[in-house]
Amino acid sequence: MMGKSHLVISTGLTLSVLGMADEKITIPVAAVTAVSALLPDIDEPNSLLVSRAIPTRFLRFIQTALIGLGIFLYFYGHAYAPWNTVLAALVGIVSFMPTRTLRNVVMVLIGAGLILYGHAFIPWSYIVGSLIILCALLPHRGLTHTVYGVIGWGILLYFSTASYDHAIWIAGTLSYTLHLLADSLTNHGIRPLPPFEWRLKLNLMSTGTRFGAFVESGFMLLTFAVVYLVFFRHSAI
């Protein structure tokens, strides 16, 4: 499914379940729910979550800066010849990488930065940094679209937020799970338990097609209906 569909469906249904369970829905709960709805696609550089966190404008700025650095090294780095030419060529190659590849490079650098310089957030800087690097190197719908991904995210949320508000880790885990269930509706499905080849695939739609958009719109409308019944009709009564 498309990112906006995941955001609406997983967030809407998760918050509705919490509402029916009489859990208090705070801003942190809602924020973690929304992030978790998109998180499994962090292994896709052009996904909604990654493209918003690392926007194209930022990548264009990096490319421009790298081109400038390459030119500077080539013309003014004579003291380091011939390595200045080699470095200039390498910088130039990176600057002309496709947007998708460059996002992966930036994700790896961000992850490395968290590991090396996130001392104030130990041990979470190591965990989050390692996850970002791992996701940047994984194929789409790989490890993040498995039962292992759900368990890992749930454990991370539990140990970091349970003492603050138990609803946060419950909401995050449920929203993440709903993302995977939504992807199981597509013709590609998911492999929930690798290395086993079994796929959870209902083959109801194909993402990016007209019929797929129709199906996604239908599920979003159903989600809006559930949200209305839980939060608005119930309060009116």
Phi-psi region of 138 (alpha: psi -120 to 50; beta: other; left: phi over 0): beta
pLDDT of residue 36: 92
Confidence class for position 221, pLDDT limits 50, 70, 90: very high
pLDDT of residue 188: 86
Start-to-end Cα distance in the chain: 35
Structure tokens at 215: 């199906």
Tens of pLDDT, residue by residue over 77-134, are: 777 777 778 887 877 787 778 877 888 888 888 888 888 887 776 666 776 777 778 7
Tens of pLDDT, residue by residue over 180-190, are: 999 999 988 89
pLDDT of residue 234: 56
pLDDT of residue 227: 94
Kindly report the pTM of this predicted structure: 0.76
